[in-house]
Each structure stands twice: as structure tokens, then as C-alpha cells.
Amino acid sequence: MAWNAFKLCTALRALGYIMVLVVLVIVGLTYYAVVLANYLPAIFGGGLSAVIAFPLLILFHFLLVMLLWSYFNVVLNDPGVVPPNWRPANDEEGGDGAPLVGSDQSTLVSDPANQKVRFCRKCNHFKPPRCHHCSVCGRCILKMDHHCVWVVNCVGALNYKYFLLFLFYTFLETTLVTLSLFKYFMAFFTEEEVIGTLGTVAASFITFVLNFAFALSVFGFMIMHLSLVASNTTTIEVMAFVIL
């Protein structure tokens, strides 16, 4: 019995919805550990701790709002699809301005002298330059970079800006959380008294580990995408170049 690759695509789409829930759970845990368990009580306690906690919480909430705004813009915005009945006027990818051979679709697809004109047999329409078909989304995406399971969507021409902003604000937020919870994390390995209930202590420890790991991974991912922007390339194009 032949293996059906489309079942994997369906599984990836379902996994994406789970990953959105995972993101929201991590955000909720982080909010509890930073705000409710540690720094909001510090404000009510007064003293030097309150002076430090107040601006930290303002910055934390600002970055959190920007993170969620950019994240849901990536999730909800269309990455860019081919306009209905779009047809190239000439061989755009050939770069020579050569006109298309023939006027009907069947001629364009079958003519061996016109192989540079790209046609998607799954979507049954022509593909503009730098457009690729996503098997998970089941459609062609303009300037497709990659399909991201974390956002249940493709990253393409129309939502790439929000994706970069999401990486930027995620890095800043996770770095801030890592620094703000560092003293609570180090309290586990010193003789310093750990203040709080078992639940708040465990939440602070887990939150520190998760945010530290995300800060490192997102930083590398952000640098990679900034280099792609600087060279005007996409992840798919770089991978295709490496394979060739």
C-alpha cells in the first residue's frame, strides 16, 4: 500500500492549532510567574523592590501586547495568494521579455519551448515569480518563505513583516523575563530563602527555563531572517540553492 503524503500535511495543519494553544499557555504561565507571583506583590510591598518592579511591569506589558499583536497578525493575515485568472504577459522569470507561446492554457503548459512559464497543476493556474505551492495550506503563496506550524499559516509576501516583528518582540520579551526571574532561579542553587508557595516557586523556575530557551532559539532565527531580508531571498530559495 502506497504512503499518502497528504495525510502528513493534514497532520501538520492540525498540529498548528495545537501550537497556537501552546503559545497561549506559555504566555499565561509567564504572566502568572512574572506579574502575579513576583513583581505585583513587590509593588504592594513598597521599598526599593517597588521602584524596580513598577517600570519593569510597564515594559513587560508593552512588549507582551506588541508580541501578541504581531503574532495574531501572522496567524490571521493572508500570506498572499495568486489573483484570480492571473496570467503573465511575458516570460517574467526568463528575464528576456519573451512573449508567451500561444494564447490558451494548454499551449502554454505543453509547449517544450516555454518551460520557464510556471504553472501549478494542483491549483490549476499560473504562478508568478517567487510563488510556491504549499501542500499544507493547499494553495500557492506569493513570495512564500516557509510554512510555520507555530502560526498555523504560511509566511509570505503579505504577513512577512508581522513575522519579523513577532520574532523581534518575542526575543525582547523572553530576554526581559529571563533577566527578571534570574534571581528566583538562582535561589534554588544557593542558601538564599525561596519566598512563595510551592506553586509560585515551580512556576518561576519553569518560566525561566522556557523563556531562556526561547530567547536563544528566537535570537538565532531572527538573525537568519534579517540576513535573508538583507539579501532579498527567502528560506525556500536558500534551501533550493543549497540542494542544487
From 134, 137, 148, 154, active-site residue: 148
- Closest by CA to 163, choosing from 68, 66, 63, 71, is 71
What are the grid coordinates assigned to 223, written together? 538573525
148 is catalytic: yes
Active site residues: 148
